[in-house]
Structure 1
Amino acid sequence: MKATSAPARHPAVILVTVVLACLLLPISLTGASVAMPGVAADFHNSLASNQWIVNGYDLTFASFMLASGAFADRFGRRRVFLVGSAVFAFCSLLSALAGGILMLDLARAVAGIGAGAVLTSGSAVLANTFDGPARARAFAVFGTTVGIGQAFGPFVSGVLSTTLGWRAVFLLPAIVGAGVVALATLLPESRDPESTRVDWAGTFTLTGALATLIAALLEGPQWGWASAFNLAAYVVCVLLFTAFVVVETRQRRPMADLSLLRQPRFASLCVATVAMVAGFTPLLVYLPSYLTAVNGQTTMHAGVDLLMLTVPTVFMPLVAGALLRWIEIRHLVTVSVGLPALGVAWLTVLHPGIGNWAVLGPYALIGIGVGIAFGVQDGAAVSAVHPDRAGMAAGMFNTMRLGGEAVAIAVTGTLLVTTTRMRLGGSLDGFTGTYGHRPAALAAVLNQGQLDGPVRSVPPSARGAFRQVAVDSYTGGLHTVMWVMAGFCAAATVLVAVVGSRTREQAAVPAEAAVRIPESAEAAQAAALPEAART
């Protein structure tokens, strides 16, 4: 590795420190979604403000990850890991103490920057500390730990929210993060002496483009899709993204080598991972609100139900790795997108009061597909390019996944409130109270997990009918969104299958080429693998 490094001390402590830090990242994402109904009840904020709790974190996580890698190479992996952990822990504490939605949203956005620094620098620390088979074992533990955090995050957050309130969901990462900061002093320092600059232009143009796009999607239902705000946001988004492309194509060492997207197989795999997260992550964000509002479940109960969806993602990567002995990776990649397509379509059986056995099938199908994706998609993406570009491909693929996740959450939330409002239509005209003649307002609070409050706003004699109208509209809107998600995943499945069959001869990387991957690229590739389990 072209890097300077201090001797590695206490390898076990180093591994524990890094995996403990990255265990917090998926819990912070799923925990925020579980906390959303409680936040809305306390702060009485708008739907868009509530959605920024999740989207702000995901946005900055995606946008600053590549820049964090450049920081780690230039200024030191341990230093960036320490700063990132401190930022993440401090912002989690601010989230727990937030007195209003604005402070909470800002704290979450800055926490995403810290999370990106923790993931990229932590993975680089492991790659620099361990070698050979020990490195493989270290990253296996790393990936499994992050997968466990993602799988059990909704349950842990649900227990905390139900027993101690939503603030405890953010307080736990703050407390554990403080311990990580203390342990981080034991990490070895390393850096890349050839890294001389950070691509600030690329970082800020990409971040700005994603931020304005997500803002337009979230605020569209409130301001109007043709409002001056939305039109201006779309224009700014296009300009910033164009600037990002221009900046990256003129860089000697670009943050993202966009020429990789001209390779059909790599581009199709990027579509596949975006489709996979689009069919999975929004369910983790919005199903707790549905189960809380419509079924009257506690957040803990909703978290338990989601274990049927998330637990398969823990063990299926290992199963997928074993299946590679008999099944070509291109077929497993196709299955990894096709199963979520079928599962999300099947999940339209969801209705108020449905039993767990009725949704076990679609939940398991989605979880199995996503678990397979975590086990094979990263390797397929890196193998789709020349070995010398493996590190760049891994970083771009990971950024596409995180960026796609952020946009998918925003799009799904917007579609959900829009379709619910359309289904409500004029059905509220016959009711008096706060939400009479106001389908948009009711759709917004329903999507924040609140139904009892709106029901109490109408006269007792009309509450039964009002609840039925609200529940039917919310459920119908959710079904419509699921069909859209399933269709997107199905289209991606066809694309991956067609492109994979046409490039079969180029799918495998020759063994003699594989051994020539620079260790720095191998470290970047390893950094991308556990991130798949976070989404």
Structure 2
Amino acid sequence: MSTPPARGGVVLLAVLLSTLTFPLAITGASVALPAVGAELGGGPTALQWVVNSYNACFAAFLVCAGSVADSVGRRRVYAAGVLLFCAAGLLCLFARDVAVLNLFRAVGGVGAAAAVAGGGAMLAATFEGSARARAFGLLGTVLGAGTAFGPAVAGLLVDTLGWRAAFAAPAVVAGLALALVPLMPAARGTGRPVDRPGAVLFTSALAVLIAALVEGPARGLPVVLAGLAVSALLLAAFVLVERRSPEPLVDVALLGNRRFVAYALAAAVFMAVLVPLLVYLPSYLIAVVGLGAAQAGLWLLMLTGPTLFLPALGAELAARLPHTAVVAGALVLCGAGSAGLLVLGPDATPWTLLLPFLLIGVGVGLTNGTVDGMAMGVVGVERTGVAAGVFNATRIIVETVALACAGAVLAALTGGRLEGEGFTEAFHVVALALAGVAALAAAGVLVLGGRGEKEPEKSPLS
């Protein structure tokens, strides 16, 4: 049964509004970190958790949220997630301690997970064919807008209203999306039981992994190794449970779909390159180059601007060229731009950073939203909730692990002092590592997605 056009428009508008908030919640936190540390105190590790607590909970609950959305209804899960995200963001206004702020951020990450899983599944179920491609193209444009203007907007908010405004602003936007929920078409869930043991094991494995990476530089190598071992054991237990479960949390058939895996891998690596830069570049530009928060945000428009303007072009390229070629080429651009950040130094200017920033932004912008539509187009509609959860979870998990690893490397190489020459050298190491990851991902996409790909005009996006 098709959704009436008016209701479909409401679904699209609400999902786009809520989607706008998620990059704002990340970029706003990154720009606000110096001001948070100045007012609330806390060491480098505690401040890392301001970003990582949100990302870790976002990643850990995405797969579970997708399964719940299929079971109890996508609109219900979406509404609950937006409400939780909105409430957590507003509560950040009252935080007087870094630990309390991190708790609210973690709750916001859980809400974001539910909203993303429910919203993505609603879009995939509401639209078909070229309409689905346009819907996900708009999704990419909105993600690009949040990513592009997030640092600049957050910088202005921090300089004019204080750092708390950077956390509250996304909550206000989410409130607008929440007001549209009663106008959305209701759809019953499948009643499929949720794999609770699998959800607990998966969430615990990821939480322990992120905690080990974030806390490791301060607590020492034994803590890191112990955390990695516990995480590996929990992950092994998760795999055993999933194999025996009649209703597994992760649809194993999705992992056997080479094209789905290729697109999920690509989407993950794009964010694994972009997000650590968005989080730690503001601190570098403020502490080493000497910029203000608003000015640092404006400089980052060179990096994020292309993510706003290029998704439509990426969709057109995907309609005319092999999808894997477009995605792999975009990954190569990201890798080249990341390697180009070796020019970063105390005397950096917008002109010296323009080329590497643009290369990364163009690579991400050409695939924002488009790669989501590619992935959703190769799975059945009845499994879009789980597919959206797995896809987005892969993206946010890899992004979160990359962010935690980047923070760990910076903290280890600088002794926790993110300033001066040590910060510059450590940042160069991180940039080269991200370039290598992008290159490996490009090769992986060509291997996994290159076989049996349909011609563009016959693909789900054409």
TM-score, normalised by the number of residues in structure 1: 0.79
User: Which residue of the other structure, out of 146, 149, 152, is the alignment partner of 2:146?
Assistant: 149
Counterpart-to-counterpart distance in 2, 1:8 and 1:384: 24
Question: In the TM superposition, what is the alpha-carbon distance from 1:391 to its structure 2 partner?
Answer: 6.5
Is 1:489 aligned to residue 438 of structure 2?
yes
1:49–1:75 Cα change, 3 Å:
same
User: Which residue of the other structure, out of 173, 176, 181, is the alignment partner of 2:178?
Assistant: 181
Residue of structure 2 equivalent to 1:214: 210
Counterpart-to-counterpart distance in 2, 1:388 and 1:237: 32
SS of alignment partner, residue 310 of structure 2: helix
Residue of structure 2 equivalent to 1:461: none
Question: In the TM superposition, what is the alpha-carbon distance from 1:179 to its structure 2 partner?
Answer: 3.7
Residue of structure 1 equivalent to 2:424: 475
User: Which residue of the other structure, out of 112, 120, 125, is the alignment partner of 1:115?
Assistant: 112
User: Which residue of the other structure, out of 323, 328, 341, is the alignment partner of 2:317?
Assistant: 323
Residue of structure 2 equivalent to 1:238: 232
Query: What is the number of residues matched between the two proteins?
Result: 461
Residues 188-237 of structure 1: CA distance to partner in whole angstroms, max 9, x if unpaired?
Answer: 32122x323122222221111111111111111101012xx434322221
TM-score, normalised by the number of residues in structure 2: 0.90
Is the Cα–Cα contact under 8 Å of residues 320 and 375 in structure 1 kept in the other structure?
Answer: no
Is the Cα–Cα contact under 8 Å of residues 209 and 237 in structure 1 kept in the other structure?
Answer: yes
Is the Cα–Cα contact under 8 Å of residues 144 and 308 in structure 2 kept in the other structure?
Answer: yes
Question: In the TM superposition, what is the alpha-carbon distance from 1:138 to its structure 2 partner?
Answer: 4.2
Residue of structure 2 equivalent to 1:414: 408
Q: Unaligned stretches of 5+ in structure 1?
A: 421-439, 447-469, 516-525, 527-535
Larger Rg computed on CA atoms? 1
Residue of structure 2 equivalent to 1:424: none
In the alignment, residue 436 of structure 2 is paired with which amino acid? G
Is 1:48 aligned to residue 42 of structure 2?
no
1:511–1:10 Cα change, 3 Å:
closer
Residue of structure 1 equivalent to 2:453: 507
Question: In the TM superposition, what is the alpha-carbon distance from 1:349 to its structure 2 partner?
Answer: 0.3
Is the Cα–Cα contact under 8 Å of residues 206 and 240 in structure 1 kept in the other structure?
Answer: yes
Is the Cα–Cα contact under 8 Å of residues 272 and 402 in structure 2 kept in the other structure?
Answer: yes
Question: In the TM superposition, what is the alpha-carbon distance from 1:145 to its structure 2 partner?
Answer: 2.0
Q: Unaligned stretches of 5+ in structure 2?
A: none
User: Which residue of the other structure, out of 58, 61, 64, is the alignment partner of 1:64?
Assistant: 61
In the alignment, residue 277 of structure 1 is paired with which amino acid? M
Counterpart-to-counterpart distance in 2, 1:11 and 1:270: 26
In the alignment, residue 287 of structure 2 is paired with which amino acid? A
1:84–1:271 Cα change, 3 Å:
closer
Question: In the TM superposition, what is the alpha-carbon distance from 1:413 to its structure 2 partner?
Answer: 0.6
Question: In the TM superposition, what is the alpha-carbon distance from 1:54 to its structure 2 partner?
Answer: 1.2
Counterpart-to-counterpart distance in 1, 2:144 and 2:151: 12
After TM superposition, the runs of 4+ consecutive aligned structure 1 residues lying more than 6 A away are: 383-391, 509-512
1:261–1:196 Cα change, 3 Å:
closer
RMSD: 2.9
Is the Cα–Cα contact under 8 Å of residues 72 and 191 in structure 1 kept in the other structure?
Answer: no
Is 1:79 aligned to residue 73 of structure 2?
no
Residue of structure 1 equivalent to 2:27: 30
Residues 231-274 of structure 1: CA distance to partner in whole angstroms, max 9, x if unpaired?
Answer: 43222211111111112222223221345445665545544333
1:168–1:323 Cα change, 3 Å:
same
1:80–1:383 Cα change, 3 Å:
closer
Is 1:343 aligned to residue 289 of structure 2?
no
SS of alignment partner, residue 373 of structure 1: coil
Percent identical pairs in the alignment equals 43
